[in-house]
Amino acid sequence: MQTNKRKILNDPVFGFISLHSDILFDLIEHPYIQRLRRIKQLGLSSLVYPGANHTRFEHALGALHLMYSAIEVLRSKNVEISNEEAEAAMIAILLHDIGHGPFSHALEHTIVKGVTHEQLSLLMMQQLNLQFNNKLQTAILIFTNNYPKKYLHQLVSSQLDMDRMDYLRRDSFFSGVVEGTIGSDRIIKMLNVHKGHLVVEKKGIYSVEKFLIARRLMYWQVYLHKTVITAEHILINVLKRAKQLTNNGVKLFAPPQLKWFLKNDLDPECFENEALRKEMIDNFVKLDDSDLISSIKVWCNEPDFILSYLSKAIVNRKLLRIKISDKPIPKSKIEKLTNKLLTQMELSDDEADYLVFTGEISNSVYETNSDDIMVLTKNGKAKNLEEASDIDLKALTRKVTKHYVCYPKELE
């Protein structure tokens, strides 16, 4: 029975992924995790990168795989990690994204507005903990950074965590943007622990620099690609409109799990109300990419012009035009576009905002507000990366912000 749970999974990125503990197998079998098979890691990015159909399930497995490697590396350097701690760290990384819904970014602006995916992850981990007889206790402490060995949390969440080690490699792999690939193997081999904190050894510093630049590239080339931005914003507007129409009494096609979110406005208080919270979770765990895609296809035929226009934009990939600028989009430009739109179509001002809108995107290579990446020098001291590097990394820490405006191509 037991050996049966030590499965080996095929993974295109890492080859074979082994499960080193029975509870990992049982957790993966749980519907909460199986559900991640139906949620794409990169949402609508596949509209730009056709290969980017990989799911949050694969990412969870990949991060688990790297966590195991990292623990092995640290142990080989005489960092003491008990089997229980190792298991807990693996559980924490396996579950770290469990609270993500389909198209998370879009959902967090619309139908699950009052709730962050971090809150949901924790809530779901707590539920699993009950079902698994408290065996996730240590994992939850690590996840919430309440466990004494801080470096275990840092392996789950920090600038060099296994989460981004996996997602950068994986997203690079499936998008075909090979330049985004990172030397996760080497960085992990260079990890160590210094005074309870995760550090990277001096000779890994070039790999870390390259990791940061690769991350920057992935942000601009994939995550913040202008076509992805416009697609995501259209999706936000589709859901906003659907919710608005539902509130106005229009009966839209939707599976029950989606309908529930269209009808209910969430706010932080829904967490206080146990019945409501339970209802929300019940619906949330049934919701995945398929519900949104299937419904949006049906909405293409809705009489409401806004909803059908935007739904078709996504389904047939006839997206809004997007223009990117280093400076904020001048109001005059937006007004001009809106006016042009209003002369062509009979819409209210509010409705026009669904089709002509602006926003901003920003990214910094190195997050200065989060914990610094610490480098272990040869004399056994830890310096932060900026100090340890022989190039001026501050240059790379500048946050870069860009502005965009979207509008129907017919307005050109």
318-337 binders of a copy of itself (CB under 8 A): 326
Rg (CA), the chain: 23
Give the nearer residue to a copy of itself in terms of CB position, either 65 or 153.
65
* Residue 148 C-beta: closest distance to a copy of itself, Å: 27
253 counts as binding a copy of itself under rule CB under 8 A: yes
Q: Taking CB under 8 A as the rule, which mask of x and - marks residues 195-224 in contact with a copy of itself?
A: -----------xx-xx--xx-xx--xx---
What residues numbered 336-365 form the site for a copy of itself, per CB under 8 A?
Answer: 365
Under 8 Å CB-to-CB from 265, ≥6 apart: which residues? 113, 114
Structure tokens at 308: 């059908």
Q: Taking CB under 8 A as the rule, which mask of x and - marks residues 67-86 in contact with a copy of itself?
A: ---------x----------
* Residue 305 C-beta: closest distance to a copy of itself, Å: 19
Stretch that binds a copy of itself, among 140-148, 236-244, 273-281, 389-397 (CB under 8 A): 389-397
- 171 within 8 A of 79, measured Cβ to Cβ: no
* Residue 220 C-beta: closest distance to a copy of itself, Å: 6
Give the nearer residue to a copy of itself in terms of CB position, either 163 or 288.
288
Give the Cα separation of 17 and 25 in Å (integer). 12
Give the nearer residue to a copy of itself in terms of CB position, either 61 or 356.
61
φ, ψ at 318 (rounded to 5°): -105, 75
115, HSE (Cβ side, Cα atoms, 13 Å): 26
Stretch that binds a copy of itself, among 107-115, 140-148, 155-163, 176-184 (CB under 8 A): 176-184
* Residue 393 C-beta: closest distance to a copy of itself, Å: 7
Burial of 342 (0-12, 13-18, 19+ CB in 10 A): middle
43 counts as binding a copy of itself under rule CB under 8 A: no
Give the Cα separation of 174 and 49 in Å (integer). 8
* Residue 15 C-beta: closest distance to a copy of itself, Å: 6
Which residue in the set 64, 74, 155, 393 belongs to the binding site for a copy of itself (CB under 8 A)? 393
317 counts as binding a copy of itself under rule CB under 8 A: yes
Q: Enumerate long-range contacts of 133-142, CB under 8 Å, 24 or more apart.
A: 135/23, 136/88, 136/91, 136/95, 138/84, 138/85, 138/87, 138/88, 139/87, 139/88, 139/89, 139/91, 139/92, 139/95, 140/92, 141/88, 142/88, 142/89, 142/92
Give the nearer residue to a copy of itself in terms of CB position, either 23 or 140.
23
Give the nearer residue to a copy of itself in terms of CB position, either 29 or 267.
29
Give the Cα separation of 113 and 100 in Å (integer). 13
Which residue's structure tokens are 């990292």?
A: 70
Give the nearer residue to a copy of itself in terms of CB position, either 150 or 323.
323
Stretch that binds a copy of itself, among 56-64, 123-131, 233-241, 244-252 (CB under 8 A): 56-64
